[in-house]
Amino acid sequence: MSGYDFDSMKVLVADDSQPMRSLIKSFLFGFGVKEIHEAGDANEGFELVRTEEPDIVITDWRMPPTDGLDLVRKIRMDMESPNPYLPIIMLTGFTELHRVKQARDSGVTAFLAKPISAAALYRRLCTVIDDQRPFVRVGKFFGPDRRSRRRSEPYMGAERRRDSQ
């Protein structure tokens, strides 16, 4: 039985922790990813998004003095972003519902709770590759549809859009 062929996938890993970046890189190399770029903060991350044009971004939330949400907003909204549809996996030790909503509302594609494992990262990559949700612009939000039935995880919040009422 064969699985996903990650050979041609370019990944950007943004995390202020060098050990975490190294661990994620090792996992990705093990999966077969050949091209991995790394950034220690959101600004460096966005610069690499512009210059290297990765296929997927894996970013930590907390990266003082900036954070992963800044990187997500820049990728989604900045005029200089080469790909506002870029799949983004957010790593976070925060698991409280209000934090999850905050990140979802910034436009992340998927979450991965820390501590991470190789199996969890593999599964999340596959989920993101298979994600067929459309993108939505509503108010200040631009990102994957937060309520689509095609999404892999059910939306649990209240229906707020006018066309749903």
Partner 1 sequence: MADRAQKFEPPNRLSRKIRKKGGPSPEQAILRALNAAEDLIDSYQGWAVDDLTALWKAYEESRHGTSPRDILKMFEIAHGIRGEGGSFGFQLISTIGDSLCKFLEGRKKLSAGESEVVKVHILAMRAVFKQDLKGPQPAIERELRQLLALLRERMG
Position 29 contacts partner 1 (CB under 8 A): yes
Helix (H) or strand (E) holding 143: strand 141-144
When the beta carbons of 51 and 95 are compared against partner 1, the nearer one is 95
x-or-dash pattern for partner 1, window 35-54, by CB under 8 A?
A: --------------------
Position 100 contacts partner 1 (CB under 8 A): no
Position 7 contacts partner 1 (CB under 8 A): yes
Among 81, 145, 151, 152, binds partner 1 (CB under 8 A): 145
List the end-to-end C-alpha distance of the chain, in Å, as a whole number.
46
Asked if residues 82 and 50 have their Cβ atoms less than 8 Å apart, the reply is yes
In whole angstroms, what is the distance from residue 74 CA to residue 30 CA?
A: 30
- Nearest CA to 91 among 64, 126, 70, 115? 115
In whole angstroms, what is the distance from residue 146 CA to residue 16 CA?
A: 28
Residues that bind partner 1 (CB under 8 A): 1-9, 17, 19-20, 22-23, 26-32, 55-56, 60, 62, 64, 83, 85, 87, 91-93, 114-119, 121-122, 126, 128-132, 134-139, 145, 160-163
